Structure 1
């Protein structure tokens, strides 16, 4: 199997519209959560959201092309262009376009465009529909628009695994390179589901926070948490064979060591008892990585700030890591970014890589009163300096999806 490293990263997040801004804010423990402003939230229990702010798609694409994309695809293209620039890879010079692929994840796809199209048809009939309405809605458009924007003509696919979508996309892109079907993969996820239906559906489910204070509405592992906060944005990694990266003397953020994805086959929203599926995902990823449980220096938890998830994931970590569980620093960066749904896993993979690269563990902010059932080291309040050579990132999605990625220093 070919070794796979990460040579470029890019992101559009509630913490900033670049990797530098996002990482700096996360290090400082700042929140990207604010008042829900994208639509009138009267009648909604949710009053806060982690919205992308001051985003300028014109910095990445011509206006006439931009208007043919839903926001989730715009975020994907912008983050991908950042990641490719960061990697320094040039199609046709460092790899043939046919050997460069794209793998993207999303949970909701073009939800905003779907809602706008429905309203337009109700008001103006079929004659009023936008010619690109269909292509703005479908979920594969992030991968398609990214491939067009960067000239990637190789393997192209989309993962739709709810909140595990982009972690799955990264893991599957890793396998595509391992199998020899591509030399370079642009992989990640994107989401723009802060819409009336996107927020309203989670309000109806009772899974979203009703806390009106943006500073405290998302509090993973805290006894007083009352649900997740919706986020949006995109995270993208450039995956490359180690041989290719060394040949062109690229900088290397880290290496993918392990990946696994499994199903609970239990319930459409609740995790299996004790986080059994999460346990299996972590154990399989570890087995494939060649690392031991004691080698994991950090875990970026899924940590949604919901009771069922936080407790089940805590139990899963204890079951998997046993006597090492209480020694491993764990943080939920969703406390700062909100839950970015289909983009969450990719952004958290980037945080995990930068944790390894910078020997600094990001905090779980707003953790003031720990839930007695969540009794591990969640790095509360402030970032922590510590050597990290190998780290694991969990992603758990509705429908029973469990994905684990393991990264290590190169």
Structure 2
């Protein structure tokens, strides 16, 4: 089988839109949450979100692009182009475009566009709906728009599995290279759902916290957790076959070694209480990497800060790791970014990669009292130095979708 390596990444997030800023934010435990400014959220009862407030649109786009693409596509393209640049690849230097693929997804797609155009239709009639409505709103267009920008003519898909979408996309891209269908893949997730219908919908599910204090809102594993905070952004990895990367003298940042995917088949929104679904997905990733649980030094947990999810994920880690759970560091970077839904897996894959490269564990910030029912080695409030070889990233989505990826630190 072909070995798969990581040669670049790009990120747009509430805690940084470039590699350096994002890394420093992880190390310093920066809180990227703030008051919702995109619309008046008063009637929703929700006041806090992880908005991107300093997106450098001019780096890759012109004003017309904002009229032709929803924000989730812009975020995804931005992260993909940064990943390309870091990897030292351009549209012109891709040797075989037919073996260059895209797997970047979103959980929801162009929700702000859908909201805007439905209101326009209701108020002004169907003839006033934008001709760009469908291309702007459908989920696959983040991958399609990236392919257009970079000239990728290989497989181009979007794996839509709610909050597991980004991680599933990375895992499936890994397999495409591993089994010889592609040489180069851009893979990850993107989301931009901070709009009235997005917040109102999740609020009606009682999935969001109504906490107004940004330092008490997203508190994974804490006894006081009361729901997740909506975030936005994108994370994209550049994956290559080892042979392809070495042939062109690329700097290798890490290796993708395992992927696990399955379904709870239990409930539309709730995880299996005993954690067996997600636990089996972790075991699948460990099995593909051919390592034992004690080799894993860090788990970037799904850790949404909802009562049911955090407790079930803790049980899943016990299920998969056995007694080794005591020694593996666990944190949820959603405490800093909020929950990016389909974009979460992409951004958290970047965080896991940086943890391996920089030999540290990002913290779960703002934890005051760890839930006694969550018996995990949670890194709380401040980053720590750690000797890490393998890092795992978990994503668990509505519908029972579980996706787990496993990376290894690269050593020359």
Task: Tell me the TM-score range normalised by the shorter chain.
Answer: over 0.9
Counterparts of 1:273 and 1:30, CA distance in 2:
31
Please state whether the residue corresponding to 1:317 is helix, strand or coil. helix
Counterparts of 1:199 and 1:217, CA distance in 2:
15
1:384 paired residue number? 384
Structure 1 segment 209-358 matched on structure 2, within 5 A? 209-358=209-358
Select between 120-129 and 216-225 the one with higher mean Cα deviation: 120-129
- Does the aligned pair in 1 maintain the 2:274–2:316 contact within 8 Å? yes
1:82 paired residue number? 82
How big is the shift at 1:320? 1.2
1:54 aligns with 2:48: no
Please state whether the residue corresponding to 2:376 is helix, strand or coil. coil
- Does the aligned pair in 1 maintain the 2:97–2:154 contact within 8 Å? yes
- Does the aligned pair in 2 maintain the 1:164–1:342 contact within 8 Å? yes
Counterparts of 2:22 and 2:372, CA distance in 1:
31
1:393 aligns with 2:393: yes
Select between 226-235 and 82-91 the one with higher mean Cα deviation: 82-91
How big is the shift at 1:20? 1.5
Please state whether the residue corresponding to 2:262 is helix, strand or coil. strand
2:147 paired residue number? 147
Counterparts of 1:51 and 1:356, CA distance in 2:
27
2:112 paired residue number? 112
Please state whether the residue corresponding to 2:38 is helix, strand or coil. coil
How big is the shift at 1:26? 1.5
1:132 paired residue number? 132
2:197 paired residue number? 197
Counterparts of 1:45 and 1:275, CA distance in 2:
31
- Does the aligned pair in 2 maintain the 1:208–1:228 contact within 8 Å? yes
Counterparts of 1:298 and 1:165, CA distance in 2:
21
Please state whether the residue corresponding to 2:217 is helix, strand or coil. coil
Give the count of matched residue pairs.
Answer: 410
2:42 paired residue number? 42
1:288-326, CA deviations, whole angstroms, 9 ceiling, x for partnerless residues? 111111111111100000110000010111121111101
- Does the aligned pair in 1 maintain the 2:90–2:150 contact within 8 Å? no
Counterparts of 2:92 and 2:175, CA distance in 1:
23
Please state whether the residue corresponding to 2:158 is helix, strand or coil. strand
Counterparts of 1:143 and 1:93, CA distance in 2:
20
How big is the shift at 1:273? 2.3
CA RMSD of aligned residues (A): 1.0
- Does the aligned pair in 1 maintain the 2:294–2:327 contact within 8 Å? no
How big is the shift at 1:94? 4.1
Q: Identify unmatched segments of 5+ residues in structure 2.
A: none
1:176 paired residue number? 176
1:364 aligns with 2:364: yes
Q: Which runs of 4 or more aligned residues in structure 1 lie more than 4 Å from their structure 2 counterparts after TM superposition? A: none
Counterparts of 1:26 and 1:194, CA distance in 2:
23
Counterparts of 1:324 and 1:56, CA distance in 2:
43
